[in-house]
Chains A and B, each alone.
Chain A
Amino acid sequence: MNLLEVIADGFADVRTHAGRTALQTLGVVLGVASVVGTMGLMAGERQQSLRYYTESGGVLKVMVWPKTVENVRSSAREMASRGLTLDDVEAVRASIPGFDLVEPKIGRTLLVRSARASKSYYITGVAPAYADLHELQVERGRFVSQDDVATAGTVCVLGADRAREFFGSEDPVGQNLRLSDHLFRVAGVLRYREFYWNRSDSYNALGWMNEVIVVPVTTMQVRVVGAGSRRIDEIGLRLASVKTHDASVPALQRLLTNRHRADDFQVYDRQDRIQQMNQQGKVYDFTFLACGIISLVVGGIVVANIMLASFTERMREVGVRKALGAKGWHVFVQFLVESAIVTGLGGAVGLGVGVGFVHGIAYLLDQTAVLTPAMIAAAGLCAGSVSVIFGLYPAVKAARLDPVVALRYE
């Protein structure tokens, strides 16, 4: 088949100017590598954030906290704010659909004592749903139960670090722990949790889960705060689904504003955070991708440039070939073989360099590298099309060249 012969001739031709081909290949390598590199780094960053959010309770978590009012310009009403109350919780439960969990939290710092240690810690009074809300996992024993809440039972659940602190290597479950003046039985111990943003990061973003001491919310209210108080420190809510977010969260805001008639609370909404993060991510992605594409285009232009330079150098040659009977497509194929080699080789090496680059940078910055086959394919495709386009132009130009003009060319 003649086409194969012509392709073979193209290959033979490329071998005779390896230096030029190497230069062109380098152009493609740089382009592809930068696209793969930027895409990989961006994806790694994003995936890490998403992992954190799922590990710490997912995107459905909504928190309401009292805002400390200390501004001198605050209204009298705000100064007199009673903060969040159990009545708020009831009101939300009664009138706002779209949340499947609405739970109060009351916390106090108390002196904690066991045979081993004695120290003041913040004790958290919660309902059973608290574990679901924050993705707390029980290692041994059980979490605070509905029964505990109903009876204001004197039980507690310890984070892994606290368990070790107060009980060492003994099994704390079933043992007694003194909180202030009251004796509590340890019902369960939480699983040790960790999440580091970077590999060299010493800050464990889930560390608080290891440091909690949890008791039933009612126990906290009755035995510590005083039965008459309705004040709470936090409302934890969980959206029934992502879809209810847009209606329920503003409704929650409105309800609380109406009840308090003051700006004395704040709603922390992960949906917003994640949307914001995605938005930011998009901007970054776009910027980085634009950089990648620019370098790819630059790479392509390098290819086209060298092609064109070699083209003027080879103008005479094209004329000679045509005089000897080369048709347009012979010349076209010959030029295209060159750019195909450049693209194939440059693309492959570029992918390799890009992947290496991502892992290298990830290692240096202690990030997680993420490279999906789809991304690699996309980058390869990008590079392929760019250099085909840039390779096609000189090839078409050469194929169309008038032999007389080419032969006259000095």
Chain B
Amino acid sequence: MSEMLIELGGIWKTYDTGEVAVDALRGIDLVVERGEYVAIMGPSGSGKSTLMHILGCLDSPTKGSYRLDGEEVGHRSAGRLAVVRNRFIGFVFQNYNLLPRASLLRNVELPLLYGGLERERRRIRAQQMLDQVGLGDRGKSRPNQLSGGQRQRAAIARALVTEPALLLADEPTGNLDQATGGEVMDIFDALNGCGQTVIVVTHDPQVAAHAHRIVRIVDGKIAHDQETRAA
């Protein structure tokens, strides 16, 4: 097991929109160690989400290398990237992205299904995760029967159910009020306290303040990279 969880070297991402090619990322070098708590900040359109997608293996860089847990994953096939996402990465989105028609339990179970875990163990594990985020008794509920904060907690449970090495969150508090957003960040803090690597994309300095390191992106490049607290 490598100490370095993430090693990005010279990452470029170019969107070819036909007429103009947009360079969303222009040479990103970034190393994240295991157990770090990183906030990625930057103005709108600076490339934060694009970076998130590459870190989360949802997308491949146009140029550059990405080593995740010591293995090059930057240019793998879609099928193999799906496996990497399933094993190594948990996503938390601004708008929760829970499957609207499925119960919470089924939502949380889903990554385990794709991971090939058998039904009984899936159930038990998913229930455990719901218990951990305080939604143990809401397993049968549909997402639309929950408050925003509850939904985001369910989404966190789903992100962590496979015990991923990396938790990626894109504006996780963007749709929440201050108090519930704070609760969500408290969960992240606690997770990181137990050694979970967390990367949060955010506009909000209050959210970023929870992290131990802030990476600022401007125009597809890292402008600042600063430890704010000793890990």
Contacts and interface: CB of A to CB of B under 8 A. Distances in A.
A330 B58 contact: no
Interface residues of B, number: 30
A321 B115 CA distance: 12
B151 interface: no
Interface string A375-410: 000000000000000000000000000111001000
A325 B101 contact: no
A5 B119 contact: yes
A205 interface: no
A9 B101 CA distance: 13
Interface in A311-346: 316-317, 319-328, 330
B85 interface: yes
Contact of B114 (A16, A316, A325, A404): A325
A17 B56 CA distance: 31
Contacts of A321: 99, 110, 114
Contact of B101 (A17, A323, A407): A17
A12 interface: yes
A169 interface: no
Interface in A1-50: 2, 5-6, 9, 12-13, 16-17
B86 A407 contact: no
B58 A407 contact: yes
Contact of B111 (A6, A317, A324): A324
Contact of A322 (B82, B98, B116, B162): B82
B12 to A, nearest CB: 16
Given A16-B102, A404-B53, A324 B158 contact: yes
A5 B102 CA distance: 16
27 contacts: A2-B116, A5-B113, A12-B102, A16-B101, A316-B97, A317-B99, A317-B100, A320-B98, A320-B99, A321-B114, A322-B58, A322-B82, A322-B85, A323-B91, A324-B91, A324-B114, A325-B85, A325-B86, A325-B87, A325-B114, A325-B162, A326-B82, A326-B114, A327-B83, A328-B79, A403-B58, A407-B97
Given A322-B82, A407-B58, 6 more contacts: A320-B98, A321-B114, A323-B91, A325-B162, A327-B79, A327-B114
Interface of B: 53, 56, 58-59, 78-79, 82-83, 85-87, 91, 93, 97-102, 106, 110-111, 113-116, 118-119, 158, 162
